[in-house]
Structure 1
Amino acid sequence: MIEHQPEQQRFVLNKDGHECVLEYVVTGSDIDFTRTYVPFALRGQGLAEELVKAGLAWADQQQYHKQASCWYVQKFL
């Protein structure tokens, strides 16, 4: 389950004792997705994609103008 932690400006997915994250920065009506991280042991399972889809859906609900300095998130914009 993905947890949104707005006070830390990130989305988190905990799996097998590891933390996967999507970080962002909000400036006015703009949101910049700055970083995704999935521990090596969990890579290749589509977890980063789940985080990105959740983050982009939330940004759409908030009507933010989306951008990504993270190369992985850029693939979805």
Structure 2
Amino acid sequence: MEIRHTANETKGAFEVIEEGSKVGEMTYFKSGSGLITIDHTEVDPSQNGKGLGKKLVDAGVAFARENGLKIIPACPFAKRVLTASEKYADVLQ
């Protein structure tokens, strides 16, 4: 399993790649100075129960921390993950 990050000036995505195929994705867009909004997280139903969605959110959190960004979790899944633990408090907007 590999998590890939792609981005341009306004938006980006983290993808889970397994055996050469994309099996999950989390997208975000830049929503102001120092802010990103996670707007969508999706994992192939055949991969449910493996924690891939949380791994995508964790990759987004690592990216935010490395770049001094705050996260607005517009995606219900990302919001649930990010608000469930104090360990994410430093990146929440």
TM value normalised by structure 2: 0.74
Q: Could you tell me the percent identity over the aligned residues? A: 22
Pick the aligned partner of 1:41 from 42, 46, 50: 46
Number of the residue aligned with 1:26? 30
**Post-superposition offset of 1:18:** 3.7
Q: Which runs of 4+ in 1 moved over 3 A?
A: none
Whole-Å separation in 1 of the counterparts to 2:34 and 2:22: 32
Shift of 1:74: 0.8
Greater relative CO (CA pairs within 8 A, separation 6+): 1
- Alpha-carbon shift at residue 61 of structure 1 (Å): 1.2
1:22-72, CA deviations, whole angstroms, 9 ceiling, x for partnerless residues? Answer: 100112211111110101111111001111101111111111121110011
Q: Which runs of 5+ in 2 are unaligned?
A: 84-93
User: How big is the alpha-carbon RMSD for the aligned residues of Structure 1 and Structure 2?
Assistant: 1.4
TM-score by length of 1: 0.88
2:71 to 62, 66, 75: 66
**Greater Rg by CA:** 2
